[in-house]
Every structure is written in C-alpha cells, then in structure tokens.
Structure 1
Amino acid sequence: MRISACVITKNEAENLPRWLVSMRTFADEMIVVDTGSTDATVEIARAGGARVCHFDWINDFAAAKNFALDQAKGDWVVFTDADEYFTEESVPRVRPLIEEYAGRETFDGFIVHLVNIDMDTGALLGTSAEVQRIFRRAPHIRFVGSIHEHVENLSGDPAREMAMAPGLVLYHTGYSPRIIKEKSKRDLALLLARRARGEYRKLDEYHLMDCYYTLEDYTQAAHYARLARDSADRPVGSEDRPHAVLLQSLILAGAEEAEITEAYETARKALPEKADFPLIYGTYAWEAGYYARAREAYTDGIRLHEEYYQEGDYSGVLAPSVYMRLGETEELTGNTDGAAALYERALRLRPHYAPALARFARLLRAAGADDAAVIEALNAHYDETADAAFLASVLAGIFPRAGLYYDRRAKVKFSERRRFLLAGDVCSAAASLVEDMERTAAAAAAYGRGFAPAQQGALALLLPDSCREISAAPEAVRMLRRIGRLARGME
C-alpha cells in the first residue's frame, strides 16, 4: 500500500518545511502543486524530497487540488493545507490506521480533528473542526468548491463511508491573528464576486459568517450565522460554529438582552453537551453585572467542560478566567478554601495568568503565610528560574521579599530603586531618586541650550525646584554645586 501526501502552495516558504517533516514520516511520495510562488517555496519543496508540479491559478481551489490528485500514484491520499501538520503523537499513527481500514471495500477515508493554533505562540485559539483529509485515491472522490473546497463522494453510492480518525489531530496555523484578516478579505471578495454572478452554493452562508466575524462586522456575521444555523447544510463536525458566532456577534454588537438570551437558549437546546455556550453567556452576564445568572451559567459550563472537553474547544480558552471568577464569588461568601482551589485550577490551565496568581497570593497572605511558605508553595508548581520574572512581578506588591527572591533569579530584573523599596530600605530608594534628579539637572545644565524651546520646557518639568529658582537653603546650594560638578564632567 502506497500513500501520497499532497498540498497546493503559493508563497508557503514559512509553512512548507514543517509540512514536509510531518508528511515524510508516513508518505511514499510528496506532491507539491505550486500555483505561482514568488518566494522559495519551490526550492524548499524540492530540497525536502517533494515532486513539484505547476498549476496556473484560476481562482479555483478545487481545480488546483483535483490537479494534484491527478498527479498522485498512491493507493491512499493525505491531502492537507500547507499550514496544517499532524501533532507529534499523531504522525506515527497515520500509516497503521490507513492499513487497518484499507481492506474494507466500502470505506473511503477519515475525518480528522483539526485544532487552530497561533503560529507565533503555539497557543490554542479556541476553535476546532472536523475535516476530511485522508481518503482513497479513487475517481469518485473529488474536491468541490472554488473557495472553501471540500471532498465529496461523487459515486452516488450511499454505502460508501468515512469515519472519524481515532487518535489523529491536525494543528492549523491559518487562523493566526497576524494573517487571518487578510485571508478573510480575500475569501470574502471571492465569495461576493461569485454570488454577484448568480452562483450560489451550499455552505456559502457558513463561510460568509466566518468572513464577516473575522472582519468584525458583527451585524452581518449575526445575519449569516442565523442562516447557517438554520440551514440543512453544515460542515461535518462544525455544527456548533454558527451558534457560537451568533451568540458572540450579538454580544459584541450590543444587541438586546432578550435577543442574546434567545440565541443562548437555542444553542443549549441544540448542543446540550457543549461547554462553550454557557461559558460565553456567563461571561456576558458577568460583565453586564448579572452575577447570580453568570455564576449559574459558569457552574454549568465548567461541569460540561470537565466532562466533554476536546482539544481546541473554546471552553479551554475561557476556563481559566471562569475558575478565577468563581473563586471570587467563593471569597465573597467566606469560603476561602473553595476560592483557593478554584484559583489553583485556573493556574493549572494557564500558569502565567497573573490575576489568578495575585488573588491566590492574597489569600495566602490573609491566612498568615510568610514569604518562605509562599516560595515553597510556588516552587512546587513553577520553575524558579524560567518563571522567575513572572513570579517576581506578581508577588512584589503582596509578598515583597518573595518578589526579591524571584527577581534575583530572573533575567529581566527590577530597577535598583524598586529593589530598595521591596527590601524596606526607603532611605536608599530616596537617595537613588535624588541622584537621578541630579543627573537629569546636570544634563540640562550641560546641554539644555542645544534643545528646541519645546524640549527645554519639557525638560524643565523634570528638574527640582532648586534648579528653577534661587534659594539659599543649604540642601539647595549643595544640590546646585553637585549638579555643576556633574555638568562639567559631561562637557
């Protein structure tokens, strides 16, 4: 059994090396169909062992992908986008999974769980989808759609099937914040141009919804989200997306409370196991000041999150702040143990979540913990070197000596004056401030006349009174003498 890995490209020099590494583990051949790159895409593909073919771009993604299928020689095809790659755990499972199912005559392929991540940070973006990426190389399996193309079975045989791929996860960087708006502008222009020609296709409303939501036109996003939600045509595995976009668009557009609540209740009824909806609605209620309603939604959402969470779900993005807010409500009722447990859960999900750590630290202080106890507790969960700067910045105003402990281990350190203050040495901090003021005054005395009038005025605001008016006070005289010596040293 041979496997062909296929991709279409245009200026994918940034993404292609990672795609090649992901595919060469299991593929017998790698086919890169280039549609007009002007960067190093073609050279990278050839150097990575891929066969490169060229296709003249005609504003039709399905045509380009079907051309790639025609070049493939394998029995099975793994066809991802250049900005998609299998996780490290998934890569070695691809070939064994295909081999396990290849003998089933009516089995055509797999649907894979795709998770959107930020290409710059690797952070989960809170959206995922189920996508058809692995299938037989067969005449009846082709791509359809000039934009947002997808695989379809053209045989008309209802007995042929595709199933979820157990244990396979694809990461997708194409929705990263720094690139997604430009892609959405491009896609929206193509969609509107096609529809202006009178060409309407299923899933158009779904894709228009996504484009408008990304471009922050929430009125249009809500309009198309309703159409997509109520349509019989929905992408497999993404049935929740129109509900989520509608709910968030209404909130962001400032819709009436009744309209938002109706969208929420409809979503809950359609997908009762989805944690995203109560967490989104709870956040809306919290920020609107409906705390009892928010707590009820949050509690329900966290229960669903802990029971049904899948990697990439939006509930994973919201959960840390929800745990913290639930912790706040526990504090208000006097349940400090419950609050501490919730803050700890928030920090397990997002260790560098400063508000949660600050609240947890304040609870420890209220309970009588000293700096040594706090350091011991935090070192059990953090790396005292790698996380030192973060810990120092959060603890400085709560446990000053613990803040100093971590500052000594951090690469980026506090200023000398702040260290004096944290150590309780107010006199040294004041002396440091006076020295800085004297140096500023000396710079003004030595070079001030060379500045423009507006700059001289701004600099004068930084100077002590002794530099702006005549005074016989001994401390003013001493400062002026020292400034004179510093100024002569600068000339």
Structure 2
Amino acid sequence: MKISACVITKNEAENLPRWLRSMRVFADEMIVVDTGSTDATVEIARMGGAQVFRFDWINDFAAAKNFALDQATGDWVVFTDADEYFTEESGPRVRPLIEEYDKKDTMDGFIVHLVNIDMDTGALMGTSAEVQRIFRRAPHIRFVGSIHEHVENLSGDMGREMMMAPGLTLYHTGYSPRIIKQKSKRDLGLLLARRARGAHKKLDEYHLMDCYYTLEDYPQAAHYARLALDSEHRPVGSEDRPHAVLLQSLILMKAADAEITAAYDVAREALPEKADFPLIYGTYAWDQAYFTTACAAYAEGIRLHEDFYREGDFSGVLAPTAYVRLGEAAALRGHMEEALLLHERAVRMNPHFAPLLGTFIRLLERTGADDATVIEVLNGIYDKNVDAQLLAAVLGGTSFRLAALYYDHRANVHFSERRRFLLAGDVGSAAAMLVEDMERTAAVAAACGAGFSTQQQGALTLLLPDSCRENSAAPEAARMLRRIGRLARGMK
C-alpha cells in the first residue's frame, strides 16, 4: 500500500519545510504543485524530496488540487494545505490507520480534527473544524469548488463511507491574526466575482459569513449566518459555526437584548453539549451587568467545558475568564475557599498570563496567606526554576516580598541590587544606593554641562543638588565637588 502526500503552493517558503517534515513521517511520495511562486518554495520542495509540478493559476483551487491528484501514484492520498501539519503524536498514526481500513472496500477516507493556532505564538485560537484530508486515490473522489474547495464523492453511491479519524489532529496556521484579513479579502473578492457571473455554490453563504465576520462587517456576517443556518448544506463537522458567528456578530453590533438571547436559545437547543455558547452569552451578560444571568451561563459553560472539551474549542479561550468571574462572585459572597479554587483553575489554564496570575496572588493576600504558603501554592502550579522570572516579577509588586526573592534567586534575570534590598526590608541600604546613583548622575551632568546648549544646561540643572549650585563648607558638598572635578579631568 502506497501513500501520496499532496499540496498546492504559492509563496509558501515559510510553511513548506514544516509540511515536508510532517508528511515525510508516513508518505511514500510527496507531490507539490506550484501555482506561481516567486520565493524559494520550489527549491525547498525539491531539496526536501518532493516531486514538483507547475500549474498555471486560473483562480480555481479545485482545478489545481485535482491536477495534483492526477500526478499522484499512491493508493491513498493525504491532501492538506501548506499551512497545515499533523501534531507530533498524530503523524506516526496515519499509516497504521489507513492500513487498518485499506481492505474495507466501502471506506473512502477519513475526516480529521483541525485546530487553528497562531503561527507566531503557537497559541490555540479557539476555533476548530472537521476536515476531509485523507482519502483513496479513486476516479470518483475529486475536489469541487473554485474557492473553499472540498472533496466530494461523485459516484452517486451512497454506500461510500468517510469516518472520523480517531487520534489524529491537524494544526492550521492559516487563520493567524497577521494574515487572516488579507486572505479573507482575497476570498471575498473571488466569491463575489463568481456570484456576479451567476455562479452560486451550495456553501457560499457559509463562506461569505466567515469572510464578513473576519473583516468585522458584523451586519453582513449575521445576515449570511442566518442564511447558512437555513441552508441544508454545511461543511461536515462545522455545524456550530453559523450559530457562533450569529451570536457573536449580534453582540458586537450591539443588537437588542431580546435578539441576542433568542440566538443564544436557538444555539443551545441545536447543540446542547457545546460549551462555547453559554460562555459567550455569559461574557455578554457580565458586560451588560446582568450578573445573575452571567453567573448561571458561566456555570453551565464550565460544566460543559469540563465534560466535552476538545482541543481547539473556543471554550478553551473563554473558560479562564469564566472561572475568574465566578471566583469574583464567590469572593463577594464571602466564599473565599471557592474563590481561590476557581481562580487557581483559571491560572492553570493560562499560567503565563501575568495579569491573571496577579489577580490570583492578590486574592491570596486577601485571605491572609504568608510567603511560605504562597510559595507552596505556586510550586504546585509552576516549575519553580523555569517560571521563576515570571513569578518573581509578579510577586515583586505585592506584599509577598520574601516569595519574590525566593523566585528571583532562581531566575536567569534578577532584580536590581537596590530592589533586592527593598524586598528584604533593608531600606537604609536601598536609600544609600539611591543617593549614590543620584550623586553620580548629578556629577556627570555638572562635568559635561559645558558641552550642551544653554537650554539643555538649564534642563540639566534640575538634576543637580544644591551643593553644585552654591558655595558650601558641608562635607557632602565638598565630596560632590571633588567627584565633579575628577570626572571633568578624566574627560580632557
């Protein structure tokens, strides 16, 4: 059994090395169809062991991908985009999965869980989809759609199967903030141009909805979200997307409360296990100061998140805020133990977000925790050496001064010596160092002042102590004048 990995490219020099590494784990051949790159894409593909073919771009993604299929010789095809790659755990599972089902004649392929991540930070973006990426190389399986192309079974045989691929996850960087608006503008232009020619496709409403939402045209996004909900055609595994776009668009365009609540109720009825909707609605209600409603929605969203979360779900982005706000409500009721537990869950979900950590530490202050307790709590969440710099920086602004010094000692970058004196409670030494720094600055200003304009000299005078401006027999004045003299001589 032979597996072909296929991709179409244009100026993918940034993404292609990672794609090649991902596909090389299981593929017997790698097919790269280039549509007119002007960067090093073609050279990178050839050096990476791929076969490279040229396709003249005709504004038709399906045509380019079907051309790639025609070059492949494998029994099965793994066809991803250049900005997609399998997770380290998933790559080695691809071939065993295909081999397991290869002999089942009715099995045409697999639907893979795709998770959107930020290409610059690697952070989950809170959106995911189920996509058809693995299928037999067969005449009846082809790509359809000049834009937002997808795989279809053209045989008419309803007995053909596409199943969810257990244990496989694709990461996708194509929706990263720094590139998504540009791509959406391109896609919207192609969609509108085709529709102006009278060529309408069954998933147009869905794709127009996404384009307008990304471009922050929320009335249009809401309009097409409603059309997508009314349509019988939706991408497999993305049934929740029109509900989410409609709800968020209505909130962002400041629609009436009744309209937002109605959209929320419809979404909850359609997808009762989806945590995203109550968390979105809870955030809206909290921002409107409907705190009782918000807490009820947050609690339901947290329950669903803990029971049904899948990597990439938007609930993973919203849940930390829900924990914090439920914690704030618990603290107001005087339930400090519950408040701490909720804040700790938020910190565990997003441990390197300094403002969230600061909120948690301030709550520990309110409960009367001492430095030893704080260190014990934080060591249960963080690596005391790897995360030492973050912990020291946040603790340095709180009353837990000894805990800040504990982590500063383990950090690669340390507080200044004066800051350490202050944290240790040695105010005298800190003050002496501050005076020394001020005198040094004043001495430099006095020694170098003649080299500046009159206006600049006036500004520098503000730095000088009285001992530099008038005659005095005081010991500190004499010491300052000697220092200025030494500096002045050293500059000649």
TM-score (norm 2): 0.93
Alignment map for 1:348-359 (pairs within 5 Å) = 348-359=348-359
1:403-439 CA-to-partner distances (Å, cap 9, x unmatched) read 0111122122223332222122223333333333334
Distance of aligned partners of 1:125 and 1:458 in 2 relative to their CA distance in 1, 3 Å threshold:
farther
Q: Which residue of 2 aligns with 1:409?
A: 410
User: Which stretch has the larger CA shift, 301-310 or 45-54?
Assistant: 45-54
Q: Which residue of 1 aligns with 2:206?
A: 206
Partner letter of residue 252 of structure 1?
Answer: L
User: Which stretch has the larger CA shift, 70-79 or 255-264?
Assistant: 255-264
Q: After TM superposition, give the deviation of residue 316 of structure 1 in Å.
A: 0.6
Distance of aligned partners of 1:178 and 1:453 in 2 relative to their CA distance in 1, 3 Å threshold:
farther
Partner letter of residue 284 of structure 1?
Answer: Y
Q: Which residue of 2 aligns with 1:237?
A: 237
Q: Which residue of 1 aligns with 2:227?
A: 227
User: Which stretch has the larger CA shift, 197-206 or 314-323?
Assistant: 197-206
CA contact (8 A) 1:110 1:132 kept: yes
What is the CA–CA distance in structure 2 between the aligned matches of 1:179 and 1:456, rounded to whole Å?
A: 49
1:249 aligned counterpart, secondary structure: helix
1:234-292 CA-to-partner distances (Å, cap 9, x unmatched) read 11111111111222222222333222222222211221111001101111211222211
CA contact (8 A) 2:449 2:457 kept: yes
User: Which stretch has the larger CA shift, 47-56 or 224-233?
Assistant: 224-233
2:8 aligned counterpart, secondary structure: strand
Q: Which residue of 2 aligns with 1:442?
A: 443
Q: Which residue of 2 aligns with 1:261?
A: 261
Q: Which residue of 2 aligns with 1:181?
A: 181
Q: After TM superposition, give the deviation of residue 140 of structure 1 in Å.
A: 1.2
Q: After TM superposition, give the deviation of residue 303 of structure 1 in Å.
A: 0.6
Partner letter of residue 419 of structure 1?
Answer: R
Q: Which residue of 2 aligns with 1:360?
A: 360
CA contact (8 A) 1:6 1:31 kept: yes
What is the CA–CA distance in structure 2 between the aligned matches of 1:230 and 1:87, rounded to whole Å?
A: 35
Distance of aligned partners of 1:453 and 1:128 in 2 relative to their CA distance in 1, 3 Å threshold:
farther
What is the CA–CA distance in structure 2 between the aligned matches of 1:460 and 1:232, rounded to whole Å?
A: 77
Q: After TM superposition, give the deviation of residue 368 of structure 1 in Å.
A: 4.1
Structure 1 spans left out of the alignment, 5+ residues: none
What is the CA–CA distance in structure 2 between the aligned matches of 1:423 and 1:429, rounded to whole Å?
A: 10
Partner letter of residue 237 of structure 1?
Answer: G
Distance of aligned partners of 1:448 and 1:321 in 2 relative to their CA distance in 1, 3 Å threshold:
farther
What is the CA–CA distance in structure 2 between the aligned matches of 1:475 and 1:382, rounded to whole Å?
A: 52
Partner letter of residue 424 of structure 1?
Answer: G
What is the CA–CA distance in structure 1 between the aligned matches of 2:342 and 2:187, rounded to whole Å?
A: 42
User: Which stretch has the larger CA shift, 222-231 or 163-172?
Assistant: 222-231
Distance of aligned partners of 1:132 and 1:332 in 2 relative to their CA distance in 1, 3 Å threshold:
same
CA contact (8 A) 1:77 1:134 kept: yes
1:49-106 CA-to-partner distances (Å, cap 9, x unmatched) read 1111111111111111000000011111110011111112211221121122222222
Q: After TM superposition, give the deviation of residue 473 of structure 1 in Å.
A: 9.8
Q: Which residue of 2 aligns with 1:425?
A: 426
What is the CA–CA distance in structure 1 between the aligned matches of 2:60 and 2:385, rounded to whole Å?
A: 52
Q: Which residue of 2 aligns with 1:19?
A: 19
Question: Percent of aligned pairs with the same residue?
Answer: 74
Distance of aligned partners of 1:475 and 1:122 in 2 relative to their CA distance in 1, 3 Å threshold:
farther
CA contact (8 A) 1:466 1:476 kept: no
Partner letter of residue 438 of structure 1?
Answer: E
Q: After TM superposition, give the deviation of residue 45 of structure 1 in Å.
A: 1.3
1:369-402 CA-to-partner distances (Å, cap 9, x unmatched) read 3222322332233212210111112212130111
Distance of aligned partners of 1:189 and 1:415 in 2 relative to their CA distance in 1, 3 Å threshold:
farther
Q: After TM superposition, give the deviation of residue 469 of structure 1 in Å.
A: 6.6
What is the CA–CA distance in structure 1 between the aligned matches of 2:50 and 2:207, rounded to whole Å?
A: 32
What is the CA–CA distance in structure 1 between the aligned matches of 2:104 and 2:456, rounded to whole Å?
A: 80
2:383 aligned counterpart, secondary structure: coil
Alignment map for 1:31-110 (pairs within 5 Å) = 31-110=31-110
2:109 aligned counterpart, secondary structure: strand
Partner letter of residue 78 of structure 2?
Answer: V
What is the CA–CA distance in structure 1 between the aligned matches of 2:198 and 2:166, rounded to whole Å?
A: 41
Q: After TM superposition, give the deviation of residue 471 of structure 1 in Å.
A: 8.4
What is the CA–CA distance in structure 2 between the aligned matches of 1:358 and 1:398, rounded to whole Å?
A: 12
What is the CA–CA distance in structure 2 between the aligned matches of 1:163 and 1:12, rounded to whole Å?
A: 30
What is the CA–CA distance in structure 1 between the aligned matches of 2:429 and 2:315, rounded to whole Å?
A: 49
Count of matched residue pairs: 490
What is the CA–CA distance in structure 2 between the aligned matches of 1:249 and 1:453, rounded to whole Å?
A: 59
What is the CA–CA distance in structure 2 between the aligned matches of 1:360 and 1:65, rounded to whole Å?
A: 51
User: Which stretch has the larger CA shift, 423-432 or 101-110?
Assistant: 423-432
Taking only aligned residues, the RMSD between alpha carbons, in angstroms, comes to 2.4
Q: Which residue of 2 aligns with 1:136?
A: 136
Structure 2 spans left out of the alignment, 5+ residues: none
Alignment map for 1:392-403 (pairs within 5 Å) = 392-396=392-396, 397-403=398-404
What is the CA–CA distance in structure 1 between the aligned matches of 2:183 and 2:443, rounded to whole Å?
A: 54
1:7 aligned counterpart, secondary structure: strand
What is the CA–CA distance in structure 2 between the aligned matches of 1:421 and 1:331, rounded to whole Å?
A: 31
CA contact (8 A) 1:443 1:490 kept: no
2:32 aligned counterpart, secondary structure: strand
